Amino acid sequence: MSVSLIKKIIKLLLSTITISVLFLYCDSDHDQLDSNLRGYLSEVLGQYRGVDLDLQTEKEYPYCNYSIDALISSSQQTVEVKILGIEIPNTVLPAFGSATGNWYLGNLNGDVSLRFRYQNKLSIYNLNISNKHISITPSIIGFTNLDTDTIFRIPTNFIWSYMVFYTVTESLQSAIRESFLNNLRNLGATDTLLTMGKYRHKINNNIYSCFTVNNYQILDPSGVPLYGFSYYGDTLPLKQLLNQYHELYSDYVYIWITTWHGRRFYMW
């Protein structure tokens, strides 16, 4: 057998092994839930403003794209999440990870009982939902562990800006920052104080965003300050302002603006 033929065979074997490692095929499409669940609620911004639920298993599986299968039903002020099990896709990705699930629970208001069922297991959380906050009180923890921190809601006509500076001097950072914020004010934006606490929301369908307000300063999870305003104008001037700063300062800073109706505009 020639050396070149041996090399071709080895390359073919290696490519086959690589494909097999990246994508493994399974016949089963469903399995039993063998783990407790943890999760959290978020506010959904935009046209379908409401409440969103994220769950994941405490157990990590050898494949990272398993999902939690569930049915959601609502009756008056009760929402029930009936867990069916773990859904295994036909194509699995071999990397350790939790099974996950995400559901829109609806535009809920008032006192709501959120119930989780799996076979003979039961968890109940009492929710109080207003236009200002989503509070979560466990009644029966059972097999779930929800984050029970109160989630404050984004006020109507609120916008916030995020700035990432590249390697520039502090004086240049300050000059660009103040220039941009003053231009927002010139467009009619007014400085606004939010209630201190945690804000967690979903924008643009699948982008999650969160920040906390501490001593009336808005901070993202890494501690970077955000800048919040009340704004009643059209979004076009905001986009035009971002385009202007892209032309002038794209080598120094990256800026985006998020609006209360779930839209995010980037500097590009």
For residues 37 and 144, state if they share a domain.
Answer: yes
Examine residue 5 and state whether it is found in any structural domain, yes or no. Answer: no
Is the CB of residue 165 less than 8 Å from the CB of residue 252?
A: yes
Q: Half-sphere exposure of residue 5, counting CA atoms within 13 Å on the CB side?
A: 2
Give the pLDDT band (50/70/90) at residue 184.
very high
For residues 85 and 168, state if they share a domain.
Answer: no
For residues 133 and 192, state if they share a domain.
Answer: no
The pLDDT value given to residue 29: 54
Domain boundary among 149, 170, 201: 149
**What average pLDDT does range 75-99 have in this prediction?**
89
For residues 230 and 121, state if they share a domain.
Answer: no
Residue 188 in tokens? 């009619």
Give the pLDDT band (50/70/90) at residue 203.
confident
> What residues make up the domain containing 64?
30-149
Q: Which of 6-15, 95-104, 181-190 bottoms out in mean pLDDT, i.e. has the lowest? A: 6-15
Per-residue pLDDT tens digits for 146-175: 999 999 999 999 999 999 999 889 999 999
Domain boundary among 122, 149, 176: 149
The pLDDT value given to residue 25: 43
The pLDDT value given to residue 24: 44
The pLDDT value given to residue 91: 81
Give the pLDDT band (50/70/90) at residue 208.
confident
Residue type at 266 in one-letter notation? Y
